[in-house]
Amino acid sequence: MMSTPYPLEEELGMRYYASETRGIGGRLRTKPEDFVVDEIPLPFREVDDGPYLICRLTKTNWELQRAVKEIAKRLGISHRRIAWAGTKDKNAVTTQLISIYGLAPGAIEQVNLGDISLEVIGRSQHPLTLGGLLGNRFDILIRDCTPECLPERVHKVTGVASTGVPNYYGLQRFGVIRPVTHIVGESILRGDYEAAVVTYIGRAYPLETEEAQKARARFAETRDARAALAELPVQMTYERAMANHLVADPDDYAGALRTLPPKLLSLLVSAFQSHLFNRALSRRIDEGMPLTEPVIGDRLLFQDGREDVVTARNIRAALLHIRRGRCQIAM
């Protein structure tokens, strides 16, 4: 294991690399086509008269929440009638299923958006739910790698990865440009809604435009929602929605948060859970515990949904189950 040299990864709990091999360098996502994500959906039982239309959504360089709102606008429906199983990357080409309540298949033809396509798959009695997927398949192109001994370094890293790696939640879970989602989520869970709103609107990061940084910094310092509305860039629709609410009701920070889509609020809380997972995983490595072998007190999750706790009596059986792929160690 090698400790991360990057302060941001340290802050987000991602404190260890499985390999001590020097990195290959290179650049990710020079263009969206370099990062292709295909969702592996759970099977659903297709029916003729189900209230939910199931569609395959393919998008390029679209943030999912904004894509859903634009699709809903073209269809003339509330975006709350659209559901999905997983949030995909923005700077990428992504394919996934979405469910739309109460829509005829022919209505999909009304959606004419650049870099977005919809294909009707069938109908279902039930909507898609967050987390209801088998996984994702990735096709990633890394450009401009350091050519020196590249095959040897890739071989070493691949060998280490084959034995297991710390499977941290990555930067995108917390925000690539502004890694604040876990901070907002923690404030929500603590009931400090003012801190949540001020962080979401007012915490600036250096990768943002100068205009955005100045507007955020001013709001963080003054709490002046009216000034924020005048200064925040128009594309910051969520920040502006919260600021607009605060203009009407200056002390209603909980109400300001409720202007955000429910799924986004859920993702903010999930981001804090992800942060706790990262910290727990790093703590396990700190204490010298293995990642692929059980220790007494570990919780095991079996493929059939059953759970168990490792004890001195069952630790050998637990190791055998893990090696045979029947269960996994849970954090």
Long-range contacts of 172-175 (CB under 8 A, 24+ apart): 172/89, 173/271, 173/274, 174/12, 174/271, 174/274, 174/275
CB–CB of 53/123 below 8 Å?
yes
**Per DSSP, what are the bridge partners of residue 124?**
52
C-alpha Rg value of the chain to the nearest Å: 23
Q: Which of 38, 89, 144, 298 is catalytic?
A: 89
Calpha distance 164→160 (Å, rounded): 7
> CA-CA distance, 141 to 169, in Å (whole number)?
20
308 among known catalytic residues? no
DSSP class of residue 108? G
How far apart are alpha carbons 223 and 234 in whole angstroms? 19
Token pair, residue 133, equals 């997927």
What DSSP line would sit under 27-95, residue for residue?
Answer: EE-SSGGGEEEEEEEPP----SS-SEEEEEEEEES--HHHHHHHHHHHHTS-GGGEEES-PPPSSSEEE
**Any idea which residues carry the catalytic annotation?**
89
